[in-house]
Structure 1
Amino acid sequence: MDALSVIGGGIAGLALAARLDPSRFQVTVHERREEPPSVQTSLALWPEAQRALAEVGILQAVRAAGAGFGGLALRDGSGNVLLKARAANVIGVPRADLLRLLDAAVPASVTRVYEPVASPPRSGLVVGADGVHSIVRRSIWGERTRARLSPYLALRGIIDETVPPGRGGEYWGRGQLFGITPASRGRTYWYASYRSGLGPGGIYVEEALAVTRARFSGRAPGVDRVLAVATPEGTLAQRVWTVPYPGSYQRGGAVLVGDAAHGMTPNLGRGACEALIDAVTLADLLNSRALPEALQDYNRRRLWRSQALRVASSAMARLALAESAQPLRDGLLRLAGRRRGAAAVEG
């Protein structure tokens, strides 16, 4: 039986541990904390990620815990619809619920170690599932792969109300965005982002929330309602970090998954999805092939796909948070929305 150490007990780490063959691997999951996140946020799960959850065996439970998106509206900063899109096969689920279900799917044979990891283990296969600030990536791939700080602050939270009728979607203003989507039945996930000098560490959430209210106040009724209900205790405020291209997701006896491999801005809503796909892809290859072949095939399957999404997400962030180009952006999106509406009528 081969030893396998998973550094990081988040989405990617738990999905991997749940999917690995316990008769082939002695798995140890290292996680710094035993408690779930104190502030609830939500995740969008696209069809590919749902298929990965089906492989883990928890898709139906995740669907029961979440809520369907249906349709999404892209709006200007005042709430006027620029463009509508269908998202019938996308579900939103609270992160805490997804972690709980993944955790329950991990076999009892997996060893849990709850303490910070100062350096990766020196024996067996090491999987870096430890996020954008991955100690595995920095230790083995080098300091050139250290996470990079973006200029953007992100606030997120869940409120105990449904999405206000006709107010859901993303609001793109000048240099700022606000999102309102379903989190679960009867609950709404909200998020905001803009350039900020707060942080990067020790951000005072009350200050960040006050700044956010001042920036968005009076611009759109749906946004005003959400921010009136949001509380500092139910809000997460963080600067956005990204991970540079590491060249390969496999080096020696180590491999990267999730944000440790391709941490990206949240603008495409693909971070958690790609983490799940990474984990299930790697587990299935390790379960069925010799180690060197499995790692090489994982790298081949996941590197370019996830890196393309990382680049696309950064491009989307620049578009969504455009400042001087905001009027041109809104005009082009409004034109695209009219053409799509006309095509739908003709069809």
Structure 2
Amino acid sequence: MDIIGGGIAGLALAGILDPERFAVTLHEQRPELPGVGTTLAMWAGAQAAIARLGLLDQLRDAGTKLASGALRDPSGQAMLSMEGDALLGIPRPALLKLLDSAVPTTVRRVTGRVERLPRDSWLTVGADGVHSVVRRTHWGSRAVARPTPVLAVRGVIPGNPSPEDVGEYWGRGNLFGLAPAGEGTNWYASFRSGLGPDQVDVPEALDTTRRLFSGHAAAVQHVLAQATAETTLAQRIWIAPPLARYTRRNVVLIGDAAHAMTPNLGRGACESLIDAVTLGSFLNALPLKDALANYNKKRVLPTQQLRLASSAMGRTALARTMQPARDALLRQVGKRIANKAAAVKTVE
């Protein structure tokens, strides 16, 4: 079996497969795990997948509880507050290191970019991200990823944010978010930009971000003043076209290779983990044909629904002409939720 891509999905799959049943080769172009990356939110489904890998305690030790936040206007005023304690945040490098620790020593690792896919593999798994060579080869040019007009700039700075500042700041055609990340603050910004699309100059993107958000709340200004190019990533957001099936003969797609989506719901990494553990569990228990059929049945519909929902959320968050109506609706919903919560407390 060949797994193309040693990111979140590829490492998780290599970690869940039964080493006594499968001879696995893991192909990854990077010679070592990345040292820079922002915080990823681990929803309940992703935590369950991590538990199947035997790593839930380690995830909790390395992660941070994401208990509250708000959708805010550019000044920082909360329009819609959210409470909860189910989410864990973990930096991408820490998550990759954790998943890497679960990969059996029997897995053969090959470093280098895959240009031609193995021809005689029992199963080829495309875990090679939004620009998947596996998807392009087996699903054709219509399945090639396409860029959106949106640039994502993100990073981490030292020091925890104040709880009163945590959340997303929705402006006219842009958004800025910040959340705790261990002993630091994870921040991210999205806006339409002509930079890129392939290689984005990080210092230029950071300067653009500072100018664009110069009128936002003091918390946003503080974060951007502390940000450095060395701890910042800047990428064009790409999305994959919808697929009706994630399998073709003895080829299967997982993670962003199957359903790359905008980051607005914070579910990309989570769904990659769930894909990998779901596929691996079926392969461990069933013949190949049945395992792939069950994987399609289990994962295509929910991930494609999330892809559409994330895109819709992105359009709402980055609204320009509809911004006043959007903000008025958010404030109205926020007041209703607050009034309902107050009524429940009164009854108690």
The aligned counterpart of 1:161 is: 159
Question: Does the 8 Å contact 1:119/1:139 carry over to 2?
Answer: no
Shift in Å, 1:207 = 0.8
2:129 corresponds, among 131, 156, 162, to 131
Shift in Å, 1:87 = 2.9
The aligned counterpart of 2:277 is: 280
Deviations 1:113-148 (A, max 9, x none): 001100221121000000000000000011110001
User: Percent identity between the aligned chains?
Assistant: 55
Deviations 1:295-331 (A, max 9, x none): 0000000000000000000000000000000000000
The aligned counterpart of 1:309 is: 306
Question: Does the 8 Å contact 2:74/2:215 carry over to 1?
Answer: no
Question: Does the 8 Å contact 2:4/2:28 carry over to 1?
Answer: yes
User: Matches of 1:259 and 1:202 in 2, distance apart?
Assistant: 19
The answer to whether the aligner puts 1:108 opposite 2:105 as a matched pair is: yes
Shift in Å, 1:221 = 1.0
User: Matches of 1:160 and 1:246 in 2, distance apart?
Assistant: 41
Shift in Å, 1:47 = 0.7
**TM-score under structure 1 normalisation?**
0.98
The aligned counterpart of 2:323 is: 326
The aligned counterpart of 1:300 is: 297
User: Matches of 1:312 and 1:165 in 2, distance apart?
Assistant: 27
3-state SS in 2 of match to 1:105: coil
Shift in Å, 1:105 = 0.6
User: Matches of 1:246 and 1:340 in 2, distance apart?
Assistant: 37
The aligned counterpart of 1:42 is: 39
Deviations 1:41-66 (A, max 9, x none): 11000011000000001111111111
User: Matches of 1:180 and 1:87 in 2, distance apart?
Assistant: 16
The answer to whether the aligner puts 1:140 opposite 2:138 as a matched pair is: yes
User: Matches of 2:93 and 2:56 in 1, distance apart?
Assistant: 15
3-state SS in 1 of match to 2:292: helix
Deviations 1:77-135 (A, max 9, x none): 11110001123110110000000010011000000000110022112100000000000
The aligned counterpart of 1:179 is: 177
Question: Does the 8 Å contact 1:92/1:183 carry over to 2?
Answer: yes
Shift in Å, 1:247 = 2.0
Question: Does the 8 Å contact 1:175/1:194 carry over to 2?
Answer: yes
The amino acid of 1:234's aligned partner reads T
Equivalent runs, 1:194-213 vs 2, <5 Å: 194-213=191-210
User: Matches of 1:22 and 1:240 in 2, distance apart?
Assistant: 36
The amino acid of 1:144's aligned partner reads R
Q: State the superposition RMSD in angstroms.
A: 0.8
User: Matches of 2:113 and 2:145 in 1, distance apart?
Assistant: 18
User: Matches of 1:101 and 1:211 in 2, distance apart?
Assistant: 34
The amino acid of 2:137's aligned partner reads S
Listed as ranges, the gaps of 5+ residues in structure 1 are none
User: Matches of 1:164 and 1:202 in 2, distance apart?
Assistant: 34
User: Matches of 1:127 and 1:331 in 2, distance apart?
Assistant: 46
3-state SS in 2 of match to 1:25: coil
User: Matches of 1:238 and 1:57 in 2, distance apart?
Assistant: 32
Listed as ranges, the gaps of 5+ residues in structure 2 are none
Shift in Å, 1:38 = 4.1
2:267 corresponds, among 265, 270, 278, to 270
User: Matches of 1:130 and 1:121 in 2, distance apart?
Assistant: 14
Question: Deviating runs (4+, > 4 A) in structure 1?
Answer: none
The aligned counterpart of 2:23 is: 26
Deviations 1:199-227 (A, max 9, x none): 01221111110110011113201101110
